[in-house]
Structure 1
Amino acid sequence: MVNGIRDHIHLPFFVGSPAFDLPGFVRELKKSTNKLCSSELGHKGQFAWQSGYFAHALGRDRVDSCYDYIKSQQKHHIRMTFAEEWEMMKEAYGKDLVAVANHPEG
């Protein structure tokens, strides 16, 4: 499942190995979807990803609520903009969140 709004998307995925290369995964995901948006969807250079990304690990007991949250993005962001939510997350997670969010793709 992938869902989001104009300025961000959510993509849950399972990581089964401690050797998983998250920056490499994000880099390749952005590269391939950028190519898809330009060639197949007709955006012809008008689509671009932001330079960073945010990743968050979840326990198995939170997977269902994560899927519900992702499914309801359009409704969720009627009540709260992404910028407002980001500020709340920065307050909750502090410096750790800023460091991860600004991490380049490798």
Structure 2
Amino acid sequence: MSRNFHQLHLHLVFVTKHRDHLINDQLEKSLYQHLWVKAHELELFPIAINGTKDHLHLLIGIPSTLSVASIVKNLKGSSSRFANDFMGNQDLFQWSRGYEAFTVSKKDIPMIKSYIRNQNDHHKKGSVKSDLEF
């Protein structure tokens, strides 16, 4: 058999530097759209992107040829440049140095996708899952 088959999925969480509320209503949708497009450019398979004013969650399928560190470096670097350009190139937007990365099994994709899509509700109601947050 000469065929490779991979189903690798990651749940990533990025937090703004000092947990500053930098992801405002004007930036939010454009930032998520930028990350969606950038993920495709990196040959990733975005499934869900959402967050709050100080962090975001991404659920992506990844190829076996890319490391988690390189994926995060590309997504965080590209999105911070995008956010600063969007905000008038003031260099105010920064991600914190760290990140969280969780592997996700195929059977858990719908649950994680739903959790990500409902971020604002979880944070308003206090129903966040501490093992899925930064």
Normalization by structure 2: what TM-score?
0.56
Q: Flag the 1:9–1:64 CA change in 2: closer, same or farther, 3 A.
A: same
**Matches of 2:53 and 2:127, distance apart in 1:** 11
Q: CA deviation at 1:49?
A: 0.2
Of 21, 27, 50, which aligns to 2:96? 50
1:31 is paired with a residue whose SS is helix
Of 39, 42, 66, which aligns to 1:20? 66
Superposition RMSD in Å: 2.3
Structure 1 runs of 4+ off > 6 angstroms? Answer: none
Q: Which runs of 5+ in 2 are unaligned?
A: 1-47
**Matches of 1:42 and 1:2, distance apart in 2:** 24
**Matches of 1:33 and 1:46, distance apart in 2:** 13
Q: Flag the 1:27–1:76 CA change in 2: closer, same or farther, 3 A.
A: same
**What residue number does 1:71 align with?**
117
Aligned AA (1:14): G
Normalization by structure 1: what TM-score?
0.70
May I ask how many residue pairs the two structures share in their alignment? 86
User: Which structure shows the bigger proportion of residues in strand conformation?
Assistant: 2
**Matches of 1:78 and 1:29, distance apart in 2:** 27
Offset from partner CA, 1:24-43 (integer Å, 9 cap, x none): 11111111111111113436
User: Which structure shows the bigger proportion of residues in helix conformation?
Assistant: 1
Q: Does 1:89 align with 2:131?
A: yes
**What residue number does 1:8 align with?**
55
Q: Contact conserved, 1:30 with 1:49, CA < 8 A, in 2?
A: yes
Offset from partner CA, 1:7-28 (integer Å, 9 cap, x none): 21011111231x4211111111
**Matches of 2:104 and 2:96, distance apart in 1:** 24
1:12 is paired with a residue whose SS is strand
